[in-house]
Amino acid sequence: MTIIRVGYMGGESRTLLVDGTRYGAAPAGWSNVTSPVHTGVGAIQIAENGSQATTAGSVVTFTNTVIRCWHAWVVQSGAPSAAGCLAGDTRAGYGNNLALEKNADSQIRLVQMPVSGVWADRTFLTDFSADALAEDNATMKEVALWLDPLTLGTSHVWATLFIDDVQQWSQDIGGGLFAVGGSDMYLCPAVANTGINVVFDDVAGLGSNTLNDAPHLVDWPKPEVYRQLAIGDTAQDDWVNESGDGTYESWDDASGPDDDTTYNRCTTPWAGKYQVSDGQTEGTVGVGSHTVLQAAAIGGLYPGPYINIVYRDEGDDTKWAAAYINSLGIPGEVIPNPGTSYIGHCTLFLRSSGSWTVADFTSLNFGVCVPTGAEHNGTWRDTLCMMIWLLYINSYAHGDFTTPSLPSAGGARSWTTMF
């Protein structure tokens, strides 16, 4: 089985600088919330008032060559006043983009967008789901969409939607559906003011380019997002912070980044400064022997956790040189110069010598360093350093899926009139 994760986010970092866009500026109309959540300490709330960003937060791109799944836990603050977009790409100029629509009864169907991007001109590709999203701002519903362009061959895509383990629709929606470059699954692209907020947690994308990995043939995992704050290890702390106590645990508060109240200062350039966390434990990380970690490689490398950081330059120096580190010796990216405003950045640690194990996660030290010989800015300010990763819990049993088949001629649905 070669199912791999494509992307994920869960609001665990409690900052949109990394949760909403993975790095850069916070998207409009988004916020972090602590309730409701499915797992962890945070979730992402989208304001459905027509003001939210339309290109933020995609974790998967559907294409005509890969079987992929978009997965999330979702709840609404109330009943929507009109039909709107739950996830997808509704931008003009990108014909054939797909979107999940929810109606005023909070049921879900798949639609295709026209080149104009006009919501009223969308094409309906499936019926509405029998089940609906919750409207009580408390009950998270698990939503999973599969698009399989491989099983039925050229000019056919098998679409399946599950809500809380129950298949809602499963049907061939035909071919010619994907825009050039694929169709992204942005969260609630602005198309209308429906008068409510929508909360997403543990949003993830999974995929496989192997025909035999179709969801009616193999079990697909149910993903969840977890986090680990840094645990102080003063023995490996070569930097000092504003208060001078040199403790790593000042990097983050439980509620999220605390802006300017803590920062680390390297007063001796060219010294090879390091600051890493102490070893994690099963109790603090939340993984155990039951955890199924990803065993499939991406480009020959095995993906591990993301490290999120929110940081900036205080502005009285012009040099910046730093990189992510961990105790397995796996190199991370060089961290870009941030400028004088806080920005977010993250790196994905990749192993080349084999897949990640539970032991790797429960003992991993992580942090940032200034390599020896680098001239480091004397005013490094950072207010978040956090490890987040995707775990697989349970699975969607392949026996619960309808076996794909081509539509019969003269059937109840006229496929040729749908496109």
Per-residue pLDDT tens over the stretch 79-94: 999 999 999 999 888 8
Give the pLDDT of residue 21. 72
> What is the average pLDDT score of the chain?
79
Least confident of 88-92, 179-183, 265-269, 304-308: 265-269
Q: Specify the pLDDT at position 360.
A: 79
Q: How confident is the model at residue 411 (pLDDT cuts 50, 70, 90)?
A: very low
pLDDT value of position 416: 29
Give the per-residue pLDDT at 170: 96
Decide if pLDDT at 306 tops 90: no
CB 231 within 8 A of CB 363: no
What's the pTM value of the predicted model, to 2 decimals? 0.87
Mean pLDDT, range 131-158, rounded to an integer: 96
pLDDT digits (tens, 9 = 90+) for 354-379: 778 777 777 677 777 666 555 555 56
* More reliable by pLDDT, 227 or 411: 227
Q: Cα separation of 251 and 383, whole Å?
A: 5
Q: Where are the domains of the chain?
A: 4-218, 229-395
Instruction: State how far the Cα of 110 lies from the Cα of 183, in Å rounded to an integer.
Output: 13
The string of pLDDT tens digits covering residues 286-305 is 666 556 677 666 677 787 88
Residue 209: pLDDT over 60: yes
Quote the Cα angle for 224-229-234, to 5°.
Answer: 155
Percent of the chain scored above 70 by pLDDT?
A: 74
The fold of the 229-395 domain, in CATH, is: Jelly Rolls (2.60.120)
Identical fold, 4-218 and 229-395: yes
CATH class of 4-218: mainly beta
The pLDDT of residue 190 is 83
Average pLDDT for residues 270-282, to the nearest whole number?
Answer: 55
3-class SS string, 72-120: EEEEECCCCCCCEEEEECCCCCCCCCEEEEECCCCEEEEEECCCCCCHH
